[in-house]
Structure 1
């Protein structure tokens, strides 16, 4: 029966093997912080989002998301606009350069995950995905 130490070791090994311990590079090898890559992905998938919605999706603090969006704006990848229905709200959306960056990142991510999946035996794939879902649910706040 596995205990918390074994889980800690297994998760740590996965984080290192996948490359999540390198904060200034994505696991697919792009020279961009992982948090920026996740923000680009969310904005590319759903278009303009309220900054507060981005905060929730990324599971970050408001101030961290604000700094993150500022970094995307400074790179020319995103822009902030006032929310049309609430003067205090802020919408964040990708610029054409941001859309291009998100597209390139998505291609690199797809290639990386395809290569990983190819190395997982087909009969084990559903179990791997199920285990990841269980771990994700277990980490959610009650």
Structure 2
């Protein structure tokens, strides 16, 4: 799309109001963008594993339960993900300093390197898409990005 238009291929169905159409279009656009960024940036490690690596890179050592809560999966599922990452040498487990029943998961040097390369690849993918845009389009995306960050971080009004 070279101009700002709805990503919908069909006009709004009879009875759909503008806000409902916007909600649907925004959801679809965000999902497609997130999927493209996730799958374009790393072919060697599945996206759910990369998500854990990037979380650890941002926040530091976490318990499997903390990681599971953040990723909205069960703790046993996260334990399987951590096991896969540990087998590949991307994370290491250490005893929790305050709770002997827990372990902390953190990046190894190769995990940190993979996280860095993944972030670079994702940024490069995005830069390639921004490059052909003119100054006005980039300014519009800057404003939209700021609004989306606020939108995601705020609580909905009731």
The two structures have a TM-score, normalised by structure 1, of 0.74
Contact 2:41–2:118 at 8 Å: present in 1 too?
no
Q: 3-state SS of the aligned residue for 2:73?
A: coil
Q: CA RMSD in A?
A: 3.0
In the alignment, structure 1 residue 125 sits paired with structure 2 residue 141:
yes
Gaps of 5+ in 2: 1-16
Q: 2:104 aligns with which of 91, 98, 122?
A: 91
How far residue 105 of structure 1 moved from its aligned partner, in angstroms, is: 0.9
More displaced 10-residue stretch of structure 1: 6-15 or 68-77 = 6-15
How far residue 99 of structure 1 moved from its aligned partner, in angstroms, is: 1.8
Please list the CA deviations of residues 77-109 of structure 1 after superposition, one character each: whole Å capped at 9, or x if unmatched: 111222011011220011222122112112112
Summarize the Cα distance change of 1:129–1:13 in structure 2 as closer, same or farther, 3 Å threshold: closer
Higher strand share: 1
- How far apart in 2 are the matches of 1:136 and 1:70? 31
Q: 3-state SS of the aligned residue for 2:100?
A: strand
1:61-140 alignment, distance < 5 Å: 61-118=74-131, 119=133, 121-137=137-153
Gaps of 5+ in 1: none
More displaced 10-residue stretch of structure 1: 119-128 or 87-96 = 119-128
The two structures have a TM-score, normalised by structure 2, of 0.68
Contact 1:55–1:65 at 8 Å: present in 2 too?
yes
- How far apart in 2 are the matches of 1:56 and 1:27? 23
- How far apart in 1 are the matches of 2:154 and 2:80? 28
Q: 3-state SS of the aligned residue for 1:107?
A: helix
